[in-house]
């Protein structure tokens, strides 16, 4: 049975998204979500994949994850954190690309240096794939 949460989303209001004491969650997808007023995840266990890909944009708030375990890969590919990012007592059992994908278009951008305390797991996985080993398309065959 799927759990439903009443998560407040703000596009033009001053509300932030939050998950607190949420227990075990199976799957979360925040693809391209802009957390304009911040995001908080506290005391959660996420069992399956979680995507924040192409999101962030926390202009007016802190993006905070604390006392949380991720049992599967967490995808931050192409995120842009314009405000503070704080991770405290967080475990990435299958890793994340938060600091991976260096020198690619999908590298995560930080306007403020992230603050990490007691974070475990691989934080710099490279997940960006491109056809760099393939020859460029021949314009005469198109």
Q: What is the C-alpha to C-alpha distance for residues 128 and 130, in angstroms, rounded to an integer?
A: 7
pTM of the model: 0.79
Q: What is the pLDDT of residue 38?
A: 87
Q: What is the C-alpha to C-alpha distance for residues 122 and 142, in angstroms, rounded to an integer?
A: 42
Mean pLDDT of 12-26: 57
Instruction: Give the domain ranges of the chain.
Output: 19-121
Q: What is the pLDDT of residue 57?
A: 87
Return left, alpha or beta for 98; rule: phi > 0 is left, psi -120 to 50 is alpha, else beta.
Answer: alpha
Q: Is the separation of the CB atoms in 124 and 97 below 8 Å?
A: yes
- Please tell me the total number of residues recorded for the chain in this structure: 142
Higher pLDDT, 8 or 112: 112
Higher pLDDT, 19 or 41: 41
- Asked if the model's pLDDT at residue 6 lies above 50, the reply is no
Strand, coil or helix: what is 120?
A: strand
- Asked if the model's pLDDT at residue 114 lies above 60, the reply is yes
Nearest to 34 by CA among 100, 83, 72, 73: 83
């Amino acid at each position: 049975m799927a759990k439903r949460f009443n998560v407040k989303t703000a596009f033009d209001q001053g509300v932030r998204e939050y998950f607190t004491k949420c227990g075990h969650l199976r799957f979360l997808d925040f693809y391209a979500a802009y957390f304009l007023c911040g995001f908080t995840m506290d005391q959660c266990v996420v069992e399956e994949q979680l995507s924040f890909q192409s999101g962030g944009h926390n202009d007016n708030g802190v993006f905070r994850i604390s006392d949380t375990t991720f049992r599967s890969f967490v995808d931050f590919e192409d995120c842009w954190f314009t405000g503070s990012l704080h991770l405290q007592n967080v475990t990435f059992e299958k890793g994340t690309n938060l600091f991976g994908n260096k020198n690619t278009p999908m590298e995560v951008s930080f306007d403020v240096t992230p603050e990490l305390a007691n974070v475990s797991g691989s934080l710099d996985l490279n997940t960006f794939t491109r056809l760099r080993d393939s020859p460029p398309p021949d314009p005469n065959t198109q």
